[in-house]
Amino acid sequence: MNSLSIMITLIITLILILSLFIFFLYIFLSKNKNFITKNRIKEYEERINHYIYILNKLNDGLAIIDKDKNILFVNSAFKDNIRSASFPNNIKKFELLIRNFELNRLIDNIINKDDIDSIEKKISYFDKADEKTVNCIVFKIKNTKKYAIIVRNMTYLQKIENTRSTFIQNISHEVKTPITAIMGFVETLKNGAMDNHNTGIKFLDIIEHHTKRLNYLIDDLITLTKIETGKSPVKSEKISIKSTIEHSLMLFEKEIKENKLDINKNIEDALFISDHSKINQIIINLIQNAVKYTDKGGVIKIESSIISAITAYNFISEMEDTSILWDNLPGKGDYKEFFFFSIEDTGIGVNYTNLLRLGERFFRVNSSHTTEYKGTGLGLAIIKHTLKLLNGAAVLKSSLGNGFMFTFIIPLSQDFTQNLSQERNL
């Protein structure tokens, strides 16, 4: 073989080797490119899933739609904030999701008018008889034909605002009435009424009455505020059922005798552990209401004892449909014994509409039976919040003209009741 043939063979061999190298390099790069692309796709998918997870955890509702109002995305909070009813997850049309005319109109304004980029409005509506208030922001997503709707549930804040406004109105009325009376009688005294001793004493008695009324109001407000803000800790004290109720009745002995009220008592002579001042306040307020709203010659029945958990929970479960329940009881099995107290009168009673409102601050039932209502309208509100603090429950039963019955139960610590049981057996 001559040198030329050798040279040609070498060149062909080199070309083959180079071709194979290029081929394998192409295969390697292609596979590596697919590997990189798959990794990036997987990374993007994970990012998207993370973003969706975060959006679904937001308290603010978010929905994204196109110009035909087809749903492109909606998070969990949006459904919860705009509607309480359950509905399928495959709803495609935004109108079927919200069923709210006012919000639909806001979206239509954004879609149909190019000069509007964003609208914000507070919307109030009823959802299953509950009033809801939401703050809605509707805006066009830049450089797209897609639109975002953000819904923030303002119901709780609106209730706080309404409560605050109502409280200010009520407290202003409750304070202004006695102050006006005091100022009027002081002016009358200064203008000459003091010259007549009997008249002067009468007016001073009236001033004293309204001063006490203001003092009671302030005391009740302080008590209620302490309970609501957690500044009234629960104490553990030994309490005698019979002694506590008897002492509470003594406070109204004068009114009971004047109105010739018959007090029927069925009180267990037993001890238990709880917060004496709070239990005492509940019982005093309930006896006061019974005495106040029972006509002359009426009857007030009082029952109290220590009952088992089975009896307590059966009492709650067997309550009548027309009764009202304030329930703060712990789960079954947490407590073995409960303090039971019930007071029933033959007074004017309360209709069902007013029965539902009992426990609201300053709410008092108007009646032609009495010309003036003593008290602040905070007594039952204090009872309601105190029972919540003590993990207790209450059943309220009444109808107009058929008297009123209030029963409450409070769970007792197992350790304390066991110790007291041993003490009673000694």
- Tens of pLDDT, residue by residue over 94-131, are 877 777 788 888 888 888 887 777 888 888 877 766 77
User: 85 and 142: one domain?
Assistant: yes
The answer on 65 and 53 residing in a single domain is no
CA atoms of 110 and 119, how far apart (whole Å): 8
Last residue of a domain, one of 101, 128, 153: 153
Q: What is the CATH number of the domain that holds 184?
A: 1.10.287.130
CATH number at residue 325: 3.30.565.10
Is residue 419 domain-shared with residue 295, that is, in the same domain? yes
Strand ranges (E), 356-403: 393-398
Between CA 381 and CA 389, with CA 387 as vertex, the angle to 5 degrees is 105
- Are 8 and 125 found together in one domain? no
CA separation (Å) from 130 to 40, 126, 137?
A: 48, 5, 22
My answer on whether 103 and 18 are in the same domain is no
In tens, the pLDDT along 167-196 reads 777 777 778 888 888 888 888 888 887 788
The label of the residue with tokens 């009168």 reads: 345
406 & 348 share domain: yes
Name the residue range of residue 214's domain: 159-225
Task: Count up the domains in the chain and report the number.
Answer: 4
Note the Cα 364 to chain centre separation in Å.
21
Q: Mind listing the pLDDT tens digit for each residue in 308-345?
A: 999 999 988 888 888 989 988 877 777 889 999 999 99
Q: Are residues 118 and 14 in the same domain?
A: no
Query: Within this chain, do residues 143 and 165 fall inside the same structural domain, yes or no?
Result: no
What's the pTM value of the predicted model, to 2 decimals? 0.61
Per residue in 131-159, pLDDT tens?
788 889 898 888 888 999 998 888 888 77
Question: How distant, in Å, are the alpha carbons of 282, 326, 328, 361, 382 from that of 225?
Answer: 16, 20, 19, 12, 9
Do residue 329 and residue 277 come from a single domain? yes
**171 and 124 within one domain:** no
